A and B are shown apart, each in its own frame.
Chain A
Amino acid sequence: MKTTVRFRRLLLAAAILPGLSALAQNPEPDKPQITKITISPTPIEKPALACFLLPEPQDTQPGNAAIKYEMAADLYLSYRLNGNTDPKEDETLDKLNTLPLAELNLDAARKILDPMRMPFNLLREGARRESCNWELNLRQEGFATLLPYLSPIRAQARRLQLAIRVDIKNHHWNLAHDKLQTGYAIARHLAHGQTLIETLVAAAIAGQMNACLKDWISEPGSPNLFWPLADLPQPIAPLNPGISFERALIYFDLPEWKNMMKGEGTPEQLAGFLQHFLRLANATTAGFADHEGDIFHNPQLMATGLAIIEYPQAKEFLIQRGAKPEEVEKRPVASVVGEFISRDFRETSDEVFKWMFLPPNQAIPGLLDTEKDLAAIPSNSMPNILARTLLPALSRAIVNTARPDRQLAALRIVEALRDYAAQHHALPDSLNQLALPLSNDPTLGKPFSYEHHADTAVLTSPAPPGGSVARDELHYEITLQPQ
């Protein structure tokens, strides 16, 4: 009988495991996504910045854009909640935003865009405000801060993308240009926020606007955007503002941290720190911290346990960094352990964040190495557990935020090709034949690769280290529209 039961279990396991492993593997194709762009010869016209892609100072007003964006979000959400939108609208929107422009169904687009008139007006007003301040209370809320405005603004930006595509298809260049300014300005406002997530959303919105530019460039008769593209700020979604606050979040969130760093931590502060940390990492402890009387409900007891475990390592750490052994021995245990935890975490944290202020081509390889080291550290001490829980994987964030910049640099080359074709009725054999100033791929710090075969030019740049070919390799196939 036992054998039968075992056999039955084995059979079930054999049946389920291969399926699960097949799903878990989830293979990603290693081929680049090829973007096909058909261009028509279009010279650069004067004034060169007539289609500047951000609102210019003469068109902006003093004031806080966040208020307008919030109002737009309220209106949009009320339409959504009142049943004015199709439940499958997001799905339809994705399709409409990815179809070739020639196949874009204007009636389907209108159904989505009609209720967006007022939210779009408010977004437009916000985009033309000089500043944007969401008045986040990061210093008080720390890691528990909420960012409720991000999802609505992202959803509206996707609808703005569709509206721009409709304008481009209808050759309403002024309307499309105005909305592009709105989209890029929203991205810039978000990127100057205080958090990394805002920067990532900003980069995604800039990417959506870049996708519209591909449509613009592909459409015959569209004004040449070479100079507006050249004069867009780079990076379009800078990481620095968000990263500065990321580094400081632990100081905001754990009030005991500063004292611990100075070696002035008391047993109560060590207990307070532990309580805070457990609240942050609640998902990891949820399974066994629910019972009253559990050790997790007694921070004093936990702090004592932590001090016993970490004390020998803490003493060694401080002595290695120049403290005199006899002085370390005299100090209270809580102060030694507190200083060890905060200083060791700070060292690890700085190893990650020090790369973030360099250009992507230098930052990405350095960060990848650091992240490998971080992955290898054992979870055998409190600083290591802190590092694993609180430090973000930033190499991916750099690749994602640099992506719109490389797209803009590549699109600028395509516009230079349109100008060249207007003069020579053909595509050049080499980028050196272009008289206009071009830029390198900002992600890699190297020139784009360009090849011209028959009637097609291929503009490429490989995936950055740590990126995937399918997602991160740039590959444009450019053909000249027959005259």
Chain B
Amino acid sequence: MSEEMNPPPLTPREREVENALIAFRPAPTQMNRDTLMYAAGMAAGNRAVSRALLPWKIAAAFLVCTSTALALWRPERIAPEDHPTVARHVAPSTPIAVAQPSIPAVPIFLPEGDSYLQMRQRVLVLGLNALPSLPDSAPSSPPSSPSPPQHLRYDILDAAPAWQRRAASTGDHS
């Protein structure tokens, strides 16, 4: 505190810098305040600026229309069953248990990754389609053996993974 109130005296070198800084004078301004305000007003009323806003207005209008349409349109969901379904409901004679929301509103925690905990959370919320997907071949790669394998040995040598091919080529069939 006392250092702030009574700073230590400047060194001769610092005194030189201080004197040099004192010698500086601000350059006279080129800008007139009234001219500046006039230019700003002109820019605001310029048609080019108005035109620049036009795409935003169109985009917003388009989004309003699309969203309204989406809000009104409820797509029919395709039933994942083995047979075609019809919408008629025959009331069962026994009392029907009232269907409630399947899971109470617990905050959903759906972590990425393939560890057990992560996979379990995803599978319980999203179903088995949340299991890791299988790798596919590159689209450019042509089929390497279009005809189906006919013999066990042919199959293993041609289509089996590397460890099996190695075992076959070295005669190790254990």
B106 touching A22, Cβ below 8 Å = no
| A13 CB → nearest B CB, Å | 10
| B102 CB → nearest A CB, Å | 5
Number of interface residues of B (CB under 8 A): 83
B103 touching A393, Cβ below 8 Å = yes
A78 touching B160, Cβ below 8 Å = yes
Chain A residues, Cβ within 8 Å of B98: 465
B99 touching A467, Cβ below 8 Å = yes
A145 vs B146: C-alpha distance when bound (angstroms): 37
Stretch at the interface among A169-177, A194-202, A233-241, A256-264: A194-202
B119 touching A147, Cβ below 8 Å = yes
| B110 CB → nearest A CB, Å | 8
Interface string of B117-161 (1 = CB under 8 A from A): 111110111001001111111110111111011001001000111
Q: Is B5 an interface residue (CB 8 A)?
A: no
B83 touching A35, Cβ below 8 Å = yes
Q: Is A426 an interface residue (CB 8 A)?
A: no
Chain A: which residue is nearest B62 at the CB level? A15
A151 touching B132, Cβ below 8 Å = yes
A83 touching B128, Cβ below 8 Å = no
Chain A residues, Cβ within 8 Å of B114: 146, 148
A235 vs B117: C-alpha distance when bound (angstroms): 25
The 8 Å CB contact of B159, one of A30, A78, A100, is A78
Given contacts A18-B71, A35-B81, A100-B84, contact A82 B139 (CB under 8 A): no
Chain A residues, Cβ within 8 Å of B160: 74-75, 78
Q: Is B116 an interface residue (CB 8 A)?
A: yes
Residues of B66-116 at the interface with A, using a CB-CB cut-off of 8 Å, are 66-68, 70-74, 76-77, 79-90, 92-107, 109-116
A151 touching B133, Cβ below 8 Å = yes
A232 vs B71: C-alpha distance when bound (angstroms): 48
Q: Is A469 an interface residue (CB 8 A)?
A: yes
| A82 CB → nearest B CB, Å | 5
Q: Is A446 an interface residue (CB 8 A)?
A: yes
A201 vs B127: C-alpha distance when bound (angstroms): 10
B142 touching A83, Cβ below 8 Å = yes
A83 touching B141, Cβ below 8 Å = yes
Chain B: which residue is nearest A146 at the CB level? B114
Q: Is B24 an interface residue (CB 8 A)?
A: no
A449 touching B128, Cβ below 8 Å = no
Number of interface residues of A (CB under 8 A): 105
Chain A residues, Cβ within 8 Å of B146: 84
Chain B: which residue is nearest A465 at the CB level? B97
The 8 Å CB contact of A18, one of B70, B134, B137, is B70
A371 vs B107: C-alpha distance when bound (angstroms): 12
User: Which residue, B95, B113, B119, has most C-beta atoms of chain A within 10 A?
Assistant: B119
Given contacts A11-B60, A98-B81, A211-B82, contact A87 B136 (CB under 8 A): yes
A392 touching B121, Cβ below 8 Å = yes
Residues of A317-370 at the interface with B, using a CB-CB cut-off of 8 Å, are 368
B70 touching A34, Cβ below 8 Å = no
| B63 CB → nearest A CB, Å | 3
| A278 CB → nearest B CB, Å | 12
B97 touching A117, Cβ below 8 Å = no
Chain A: which residue is nearest B155 at the CB level? A118
B116 touching A18, Cβ below 8 Å = no
The 8 Å CB contact of A19, one of B70, B77, B139, is B70
B100 touching A33, Cβ below 8 Å = no
A328 vs B79: C-alpha distance when bound (angstroms): 59
Stretch at the interface among A43-51, A299-307, A456-464: A456-464
| B122 CB → nearest A CB, Å | 10
A393 touching B106, Cβ below 8 Å = yes
Q: Is A247 an interface residue (CB 8 A)?
A: no
B161 touching A78, Cβ below 8 Å = yes
Chain B: which residue is nearest A14 at the CB level? B64
A195 vs B110: C-alpha distance when bound (angstroms): 19
The 8 Å CB contact of B117, one of A30, A144, A396, A460, is A144
B64 touching A15, Cβ below 8 Å = yes
A200 vs B121: C-alpha distance when bound (angstroms): 13
Chain B residues, Cβ within 8 Å of A87: 136-137, 139
Q: Is A93 an interface residue (CB 8 A)?
A: no
Shortest 10 CB-CB contacts between residues of A and residues of B: A15-B63, A19-B67, A283-B111, A143-B117, A449-B92, A375-B104, A83-B137, A114-B148, A462-B96, A83-B141
Given contacts A21-B71, A34-B86, A396-B103, 7 further A-B contacts (CB under 8 A): A16-B63, A87-B139, A115-B149, A143-B117, A283-B118, A388-B107, A475-B89
Q: List 22 A-B contacts (CB under 8 A).
A: A11-B60, A15-B63, A15-B66, A18-B67, A30-B99, A34-B88, A35-B85, A78-B160, A82-B141, A82-B159, A196-B120, A280-B117, A368-B100, A388-B107, A392-B120, A393-B124, A393-B125, A395-B102, A399-B102, A447-B94, A458-B90, A467-B102
